[in-house]
Structure 1
Amino acid sequence: MAYCSSSVPLTSLLYVFILILSGMTMSAHAKNITIVNLCKETIWPAIITLGNNNGGSGFQLKAGQTAFYSAPDGWSGRIWGRTGCSFDNNGNGTCQTGSCGDSLNCSSAGSLPVSIAEFTIGQPDFYDVSLVDGFNLPIVVTPINGTGNCSAAGCDGDLRQSCPSQLTFKSNGKDVACRSACDVFNTDEYCCRGSYGDPGSCLPTNYSKIFKQTCSAASTYAFDDRTSIITCSAREYVVSFCATRNQTVCSYHDHTLACNVSGGLRSFSSSWWSLMLAIPFTLFIRSLF
């Protein structure tokens, strides 16, 4: 795992601009995943490799910071955000949501409720945002330079604001997450097991429909992934916390700035560098749109 981070204003586009000025490049031998914190508060992202208990990590990401993860070909794993954490200098501590134990570095899945970005990197790639285990943060996965059904996955709002009272997860008297109906009621119907253990009998419930209203491009119950898993061959991905699916995101790779602007992907080669150095950044933003 390789990542780096830097504090910037709350726009991934501005951060990519800063990367260009610094001459930063990404690995050409892996899929690059950019992780952006567009929330108003600090979060603690975690990354685990499925099937590898020693292949995880975790780190702090303040509001406006961006980090990078290099996913090798064949990688299958999860990315999620933890909230309300407190860690000491040795990386020991606790979190209100998404905790993987008492360590900053994660080697196991986050505790429920938690929103998850799931990836399988290959030819093609598969990705989705899963709320099957509940919701603690809005997540959006956006492909860059992709072919196939390369749509953005995830949420367009904060489900904590519309969480049914029966599912509300509180910490210190504050609503901090939204539990899944399976987690709360533990019935076969809500957990898609027993006589409900197949796609024909496990159908959307009133609770999963509420999740779907806010996160139409996410899996909201066990068999919802038939329509929510996206197949795409992309060069790289952006995982944004507290973003929306129609929000502009950018990535920088091989001297090219690529942005998912309105009307489709737009790329800018290194010939743009001298222009960007010569004009105010706000003017450059306007030139993109």
Structure 2
Amino acid sequence: MNHLLSPILFLLLMLSSGPNMYECARVFTIVNYCKETIWPGITPGDNFNGGGLELKPGQSIVFQAPVGWSGRIWGRTGCKFDKNGSGSCQTADCGNTLKCKASGKTPASLAEFTLSTVDYYDVSLVDGFNLPISIKPINGQGNCSTCGCDSDLRESCPNELAVKGGNGKAVGCRSACDVFNTDQYCCRGTYGNPVTCQPTFYSKKFKEACPTAYSYAYDDPTSIFTCSGTDYVVSFCSARNQTVCSYHDRKLICSNKGNGLNPFMGSWWPALLFIANLWIFF
């Protein structure tokens, strides 16, 4: 059963634990830099609070996922849930429940992972866009590039793809496949291979805004990344060089640019600032 640790107790536990505390597991830090509350959804969610939670602006949460986990993380917006976790969301709903057992309804920006000896990860806009999202590996080996979409496509979404809220503003941007449902836009039928399925006007718009995210099904060369033995920070609405932190090998390690690392060794004040705003589930 999961239980919530106080920030100070968690920090003391970390500092007293051996270096193998996270051996054979990946540490995921999910951070909400948005100005609004979001409700991350995760499938499969057994290691992630059952698949769903609420994050207010500025809040973070940390989980562990075992090697072998393959899944996706996304953000939901405009949600209302009762005390039993029943309710609905304006975007990326997963079946009227806080804890997702199924993928989010399109449009949804997705962070996707397959954890193995070499991890594969990407951010996909193939199912459309509802929130800026990025993946930053920390302390891994290999290419380990940051990827994702820190642009807000809701502001530049073509009108024919836009999902409007009650105030007339776009709350999401659908994919051309979702809207027009043709073989060409959906990469199926005679377009079901990387030779015939080429970028379209709409996928190019997505790619221009988010060059390291999947813009259509066969957008592999610039959109899928690998890393080994890494922690991951999944950020919503972060700036391109946003400083992000993860706890690794008894040190709080922060990165704000590329793969550069800045371990706060013996620096209690920055560590406490980070931990004080962190929810930890085990």
TM-score of the pair, normalised by structure 1? 0.83
Q: Separation in 2 of the partners of 1:19 and 1:185?
A: 52
Indicate whether 1:43 and 2:32 are aligned: no
Q: Give the aligned partner of residue 141 of structure 1.
A: 135
Question: Which letter maps to 2:200?
Answer: T
Aligned length: 264
Q: Structure 2 residue aligned with 1:78, among 61, 72, 81? A: 72
Contact 1:36 1:239 in 2 (8 A): yes
Does 1:191 pair with 2:186? Answer: yes
The 3 A distance-change label for structure 1 pair 210 and 74 is: same
The residue type equivalent to 2:205 in the other structure is: I
**CA contact 2:185–2:200 (8 Å) conserved in 1:** yes
State whether residues 35 and 66 of structure 1, in contact with CA within 8 Å, keep that contact through their aligned partners in structure 2.
yes
Residue 169 (structure 1) aligns with: 163
Change (3 A) 1:3 1:183: farther
Which structure ranks higher in relative contact order (CA pairs < 8 Å, sequence separation ≥ 6)? 2
Residues 157-187 of structure 1: CA deviation (Å, up to 9, x unaligned): 1010100001001232331000000000000
Shift of 1:250: 1.4
Whole-Å Cα distance in 1 between the matches of residues 77 and 157 of structure 2? Answer: 17
Alignment of 1:116-155 (within 5 A): 116-155=110-149
Task: Determine helix, strand or coil for the equivalent of 1:67.
Answer: strand
2:232 counterpart residue number: 237
Residue type at the aligned position of 2:136:
T
What secondary structure is seen at the aligned counterpart in 1 of 2:252?
A: strand
Residue pair 2:254, 2:264 contacting (<8 A) in 1 also = no
Verify the 8 A CA contact 1:258 1:265 in the aligned structure 2: no
CA distance in 2, matches of 1:3, 1:206: 48
Q: Is the 8 A contact 2:141 2:230 kept in 1?
A: no
Instruction: Flag structure 2 segments of 5+ consecutive residues without an equivalent.
Output: 274-282
Change (3 A) 1:140 1:4: farther
SS at match of 2:177: helix
Secondary structure of the 1:190 match is helix
Partner Cα separation in structure 1 for residue 220 and residue 5 of structure 2:
32
SS at match of 1:227: coil
* Aligned counterpart in structure 1 of residue 28 of structure 2, from 30, 33, 38: 33
Q: Distance in 2 between matches of 1:20 and 1:208?
A: 47
Q: Tell me, in whole angstroms, the C-alpha distance in 2 between the residues paired with 1:248 and 1:116.
A: 21
Partner of 1:211: 206
In the TM superposition, residue 3 of structure 1 has moved relative to its aligned partner by 8.5
1:284 matched residue in structure 2:
none
Residue in structure 2 matching 1:63, options 37, 52, 57: 57
Q: Aligned-residue CA RMSD in angstroms?
A: 2.7
Counterpart in 1 of 2:106?
112
Which of 88, 91, 97 is 1:94 aligned to? 88
Change in 2 beyond 3 A, CA 1:19/1:191:
farther
Is the helix fraction higher in 1 or 2?
A: 1
CA distance in 2, matches of 1:131, 1:107: 21
